[in-house]
Structure 1
Amino acid sequence: MDAIVKTFPGKDGEARPTQAEAEEAVRTLLRWAGDDVTREGLIDTPKRVAKAYKELFAGYEQDAEEELGRTFEEVAGYDDIVLVKDIPFFSHCEHHMVPIIGKAHVAYLPDGKVLGLSKIARVVEIFGRRLQTQETMTAQVAHSIDDTLHPRGVAVMIEAEHMCMAMRGIKKQGSTTITTTFTGAFKTEPHEQVRFMTLVRGRD
């Protein structure tokens, strides 16, 4: 399901631009915005932006299913809910390329195997460090765990503020978007959804 993107994701499989091309693109945007790319404060900005983008979008170089590959079966028969909540993340809106800042709550019902807890946070990080919509990211986190671990069910809730709403357009700061994805027992058994929501909201 989840592939590592090694080339520029164009329809024709075009090779990824070089570092120099990326830096020139930043200079073009700076000139378009109306600034002087030769002034002292901006001389190294294209290099810094390209370096920052490599970090901010590192998720394209990582495979969530590979990260989830190691599981543990010595769980003393434990088969109840496993929940990791309040996982902070930063992403970028694929429509305006401005930040999405939020937290994820991820739970699953084991079926003989469990994940290392840090793996769940790592999967959120991988999908967060790509251009995203919140709806897509929520589904990606849920389905990557479902497809790899094959648990009895997965539940994911993401709460986030979108800077494309806060900084531009309607300019409404502080509004939060909530999305959920449920699979397996969390989808078919209402009481499991209720348990998940109660545990997540239990912090309030």
Structure 2
Amino acid sequence: MPKKTAIRTEERCTWANSDPLMADYHDNEWGRPERDSRALWEKLMLDGFQAGLSWSTILKKRAAFREAFEHFQPETIAAYTEADVERLMANPGIVRARAKIQATIGNARAYLAMRDAGEDFADFVWGMAGNVPILGNGGPAPAQTPLSQEISAALKKRGFKFVGPVIVYAWMQATGIVNDHACHCFLHLKPQPPEKAPSPRKR
């Protein structure tokens, strides 16, 4: 019989020990500084879909989300019509919440409006955070912070929806704007390399 790979539990954030998918996400994505504007936007959209659900639910559906939303290209999604909303509502592979789907379309338009006004999404977000990852205290993470409230308000002012301060803080953790690995975690004090640049989309 093939040898079963053990899941490390003693050095990882406790929440990531539930299953191999969560462990892999923790070890290779969560908390790594993301500097690509489109990738930052995609992750914010997925965190919006998570509202009221567990992250493991979204993670398991992420491939289906990416296929349904055409790799989360804001230029494509901004042109969606009501027919696209109905198409997405009929897709069992994603979270079929009409308000969240419509918000994603509106958020694509808000993202493009920022870009057209000369406001790069990554520069905007990281600038508000001081351009360097914020190191958490290694203890229980807060649900929101004054900075997540500030970023949330700034995004809402620019037309974004489903970007409340709790959603924004979860997104800040996921994208490495804040390093909230627990003090016992092997990644708590270790500087995290940035996410790799996304591969060019194949046509």
Shorter-chain TM range is under 0.3
| Greater strand content | 1
| Greater helix content | 2
Higher relative contact order (CA 8 A, sep 6+): 2
TM-score by structure 2 length?
Answer: 0.24
TM-score by structure 1 length?
Answer: 0.24
